[in-house]
Amino acid sequence: MHSTLTSEQRHLLAFVGRSSGTALLDAFLEERALRSLLARAGGASGPTAPHSAPDWMTSYWTVGSKFVSPRPGSGPTRATVTATQIQRLGQALPSALRGEIADLLTATRAEQDRTWQWCRCPYAYEARNAHSGPCTRYHPSDEEDREHYRRANEMRDKTHALLRRVLDLDAGAQLDLFDQFI
C-alpha cells in the first residue's frame, strides 16, 4: 500500500488520530464518520511536535473540509489534508486492514456500551444526605474497573498501531536505521 500523501501530511493525520480516539480510523471506512470528524471543527496543540513529526507541527485545526497545521494564526500553513484525500486513502486500504479497523471499532463500541452507566461516586452504600438514599447506579468492583481499564488501554494501543500502519509511518524508520551503518 503506497500512500500518495507527503510525510508531513501523514504526520498531520497521525496528530489528528491521536487527538480523536478511533474517529479517524472510522473516517477511513465511513463517509458519515468523516463528516462527523470534520464537523467538530476543532484541533489540538502542544508544546512540542508529536514523536517523529516535524518540529513546527505543534498544532492542527479543522478548516472547512480539511485539516491544516499549524493552526491558523500561528504561522503560515505548512501541511494540509483534505476530506477527499482521507476518503481516497481509506478506499485504497487492503480489505484485511479495513477488517481489522472494523473489528477494533466494534470492540471499542461494545466496551463503551458495557460501561457507559457505571458510576464511581462514593454513595454506593450510604446516602449523600438525610433526604436521599444510596446511589442506584451500578458501581463496578475494583476487579471490574481494572478489567475495563486493561481493555481500554489495549484498544488505545491497537488504535495507535493501526494508525501507524494505515499512514505508513514506520516505513522510513527502518531506512534511517540502516543509513547509520553505511
Per-residue buried b or exposed e for 131-151, using 16+ beta carbons within 10 Å of the residue's own CB: eeeebeeebeeeeeeeeeeeb
Nearest to 93 by CA among 162, 171, 156: 162
Q: Higher confidence at residue 175 or residue 159? A: 159
Give the model confidence (pLDDT) of 148-159 as tens digits. Answer: 999 999 999 999
Which three cell numbers mark 140? 463496578
pLDDT at position 3: 61
Question: In the 8-state DSSP scheme, what is residue 51?
Answer: T
Q: Which helix (H) or strand (E) covers residue 43, if one does?
A: strand 43-45
Q: How many CB atoms lie within 10 A of CB 163?
A: 21
Which residue do the cell numbers 500553513 mark?
A: 77
Q: Give the whole-angstrom CA distance, residue 16 versus residue 11.
A: 9
Give the model confidence (pLDDT) of 2-11 as tens digits. Answer: 468 999 999 9
The per-residue pLDDT of the chain, averaged, comes to 91
Q: Give the whole-angstrom CA distance, residue 104 versus residue 139.
A: 26
Which residue do the cell numbers 505543534 mark?
A: 58
Q: Higher confidence at residue 40 or residue 102? A: 102
pLDDT at position 172: 53
Nearest to 49 by CA among 70, 66, 63: 70
Q: What is the pTM of this model?
A: 0.84
Judged against a pLDDT cut of 50, whether residue 23 lies above it is answered with yes
